Amino acid sequence: MRFSLLGPFEILSDDGRPFALRSPKVRQVLALLLAQPHAVVPVETLISELWGQHPPRSALTTLQTYVYHARKAFGHESIAPDRDLLITSPPGYRMAVHDHEVDSIVFENLINQVRTELRSDNDEAAARHLRQALGMCRGRVLANIEVGEVLSAHVTYLEELRLRATELSIETDIRLGRHRELVPTLRALVKEHQLNEWFHGQLISILSISGRRAEALKAYQDLRRILDDELGLEPSEELQRLQHAVLNMGVDSMRDLMRPYSVHA
């Protein structure tokens, strides 16, 4: 059995069968419980997620109905026939799942493992585990759920963690000397995250290191135009120094100037 949050919400049985939950509200309840799988989520928190600051008088009864339908669906589909997955535990509910059954937990554990490997200079293992972690991401977190105020905080956390994993992957490949292989990835990232100066800086640096100085300077001008159009700002001082390095310095000097994020953070 696997619960997937890193993309559209999905449940798969042990034999790989998708388990469809038709009710959006039932999916929303389960997603919030799975975002905190080892904690009891209070009824008040679930009601706040489903209806915000103005729940109906029938909120508690309706929530209990959603829980009933989730349990009934689990039993009918034989997702876990010998286990009670959705547990009533005052003052609320919790999901009785193992870490390896929830993709977001596996993802977070892999990133923590990567940080340990990088501190030990085990770059190859770190790169391998980063590829595994990022391969689990299937799009926007909980893309098929209209999240409320409570669940949105968990979505933001997972999206930020995925962004950090992407940064760590780039840093690790730089440490392994895989500069040219990074160019297509960085071009896609600066298109997707147009205001992220770190991605732009890495693209400029790697293009120049790879002997593509004209493209590096164009990448800087593209960033400058985007920031001016969107925010009326100039690139940061660090990026301006990088441009100067591309224009005037050797490759070694530029490498010293444009230091990647600390991989130990």
pLDDT band at 77 (very low <50, low <70, confident <90, very high): low
pLDDT band at 256 (very low <50, low <70, confident <90, very high): low
pLDDT of residue 263: 42
Per-residue pLDDT tens for 40-50? 999 999 999 99
pLDDT band at 21 (very low <50, low <70, confident <90, very high): confident
pLDDT band at 22 (very low <50, low <70, confident <90, very high): confident
The domains of the chain, with CATH numbers, are 2-101 (1.10.10.10), 180-265 (1.25.40.10)
Sheet holding 86-89, edge to edge: 41-42, 92-95, 86-89
Q: What percentage of the chain reaches a pLDDT higher than 90?
A: 80
Per-residue pLDDT tens for 169-226? 999 999 999 999 999 999 999 999 999 999 999 999 999 988 899 999 999 999 999 9
State how far the Cα of 222 lies from the Cα of 250, in Å rounded to an integer. Answer: 23
Q: Indicate yes or no: pTM above 0.75.
A: yes
pLDDT of residue 16: 80
Q: Is the pLDDT of residue 265 over 50?
A: no
pLDDT of residue 261: 38
DSSP 105-139: HHHHHHHHHHHHHHHTT-HHHHHHHHHHHHHT--S
pLDDT of residue 264: 42
Q: Is the pLDDT of residue 73 over 80?
A: yes
pLDDT of residue 82: 73
212-233 burial: b if 16+ Cβ within 10 Å, else e: ebebbbebbebbbebbeeeeee
pLDDT of residue 14: 76
Per-residue pLDDT tens for 122-165? 999 999 999 999 999 999 999 999 999 999 999 999 999 999 99
For 51, counting Cβ atoms within 10 Å of its Cβ (0-12 exposed, 13-18 middle, 19+ buried), the class is middle
Bond before 24 cis per omega within 30 degrees = no
Per-residue pLDDT tens for 7-19? 999 998 877 888 8
Mean residue pLDDT of the chain comes to 91
Q: Is the pLDDT of residue 262 over 50?
A: no
Mean pLDDT value of segment 27-39: 94
